[in-house]
Amino acid sequence: MPLEIVRNDITKMTVDAIVNAANESLLGGGGVDGCIHRAAGKGLLAECRTLGGCKTGKAKITGGYNLPAKYVIHTVGPIYEDGKHGEKELLESCYRESLTLAKVYNCETVAFPLISSGVYRYPKDQALKVAIDVISDFLLENEMKVYIVIFDKASYKISEKLFSDIAEYIDDNYVDEHADYRRESMRMNMPMPTSVGFFEADMCECKAMSAEEDLDAKLKQIDESFSQMLLRKIDEKGMTDAECYKKANIDRKLFSKIRGDVHYKPSKPTAIAFAISLELSLDETEDLLKKAGFALSHSNKFDIIIEYFISKGNYNIFEINEALFAFDQSLLGA
C-alpha cells in the first residue's frame, strides 16, 4: 500500500525519512520532537542549530544520526486555536512541504506523525483527515511509500458518529448471521444416512459420468478471470490503469503482476480495494470477488464494514481504512 497507517513509535521506523513535529526554533522540545532528538543523539541538535529555525507550515531536512532513518524532515505545525486562523491550510502545507522535500532527496519511504495533534492541540480526527487527504493527493502524482504513524490507539479516533453508525450496522448484520448460523447447526445435527445402498451407488456412478462430461464442457467455456474482469471494468469506467491502482492504494508493481498474469489470484483485501476504486455496486463487488474465489460474508466484521461503505456509496479508501483500523481489522490494499 502506498499509504499505510501504522501504530508505532516513529523513532523505530526504518524508512528513508521520518518527519518531526517541531517548533519554529527547531531546537527540540517535548512530544515526538523530544523522542526524535533523544533517539538521534546530540548530532541532530548540532545540525538543527545551523538551520536558523523554520516558519510554521514549512519544512527543513537534516541527517538521521543514530536513528534507523537516513533523514529527519522537521516541519512546524500550527497551534490550534479555533480552526478559524488558517490552521487547516498551514497543516496541509506541512505535509506538502515535507513530501516535496522528501522527493527532492529521493526518499522512497517516509513516515509522518500526526503533526500538531499533541501539544499544539489540533483535534486528532481532523488532523488525521488532513494528513490522509494531502498525502493521498500527493501519491496520485508521485511514487512513494508513506506511513502515518499513530503512537497509541487512544489517539486514533474516527468521528463518533461514523463509529457508532458502523458499530450499529455490524451489530444488526452480525446478529442476523449468527442466528442463521445457529439454525444451520441445528439442521446439521439432524440424523444423516450413514451408508449408501447398491442402487444408490450405481446411481452415483452414472451421476459421476455425467458430472465428468459436465465438467469438461464447463472447463471449455471457463469464465473471465479476476484480472480480465478488472481490466474490463477499468475500461468501462473510463479510467486509466494508474488512476485505478492509485485510488485503490495498490502499488504499481502489484498492478503490473495482475495485469500480466491472467490467472493472478489476489488477496481478498486487494480485490476489495479494486472494487472500491472502481466504485462498484454491492452486486458487482460480489462478482469481482467471486472471480478471485471470495465472497462478502456477514460472519466477519471486515466484510460488514466494507458492505456498510459500499451501501452508503462512500468509496473513499482512506476513510474505509480509518474505519477498519478503528475496528481492529486489516486494511485494504496490497
Sites of contact with ligand AR6 (CB under 6 A): 9-11, 21-23, 29-33, 35, 77, 113-120, 149, 151, 155
120/318 with CB nearer ligand AR6: 120
Shortest Å, Cβ 173 to ligand AR6: 33
Contact 113, 10 (CB under 8 A): yes
Contact 152, 274 (CB under 8 A): no
Cell of 267: 488477496
23/277 with CB nearer ligand AR6: 23
116/321 with CB nearer ligand AR6: 116
Residue that the C-alpha cell 502545507 belongs to: 93
Among 202, 170, 143, CA closest to 306: 170
Which residues, other chains included, contact 327 with Cβ-Cβ below 8 Å and sequence gap of 6+?
166, 170, 301, 305
**What secondary structure letter does DSSP report for 238?**
T
157/290 with CB nearer ligand AR6: 157
27/231 with CB nearer ligand AR6: 27
**Count of alpha carbons within 13 angstroms of residue 103, beta-carbon side:** 13
Shortest Å, Cβ 38 to ligand AR6: 9
Element (H, E) at 71: strand 71-76
Which residues, other chains included, contact 161 with Cβ-Cβ below 8 Å and sequence gap of 6+?
none
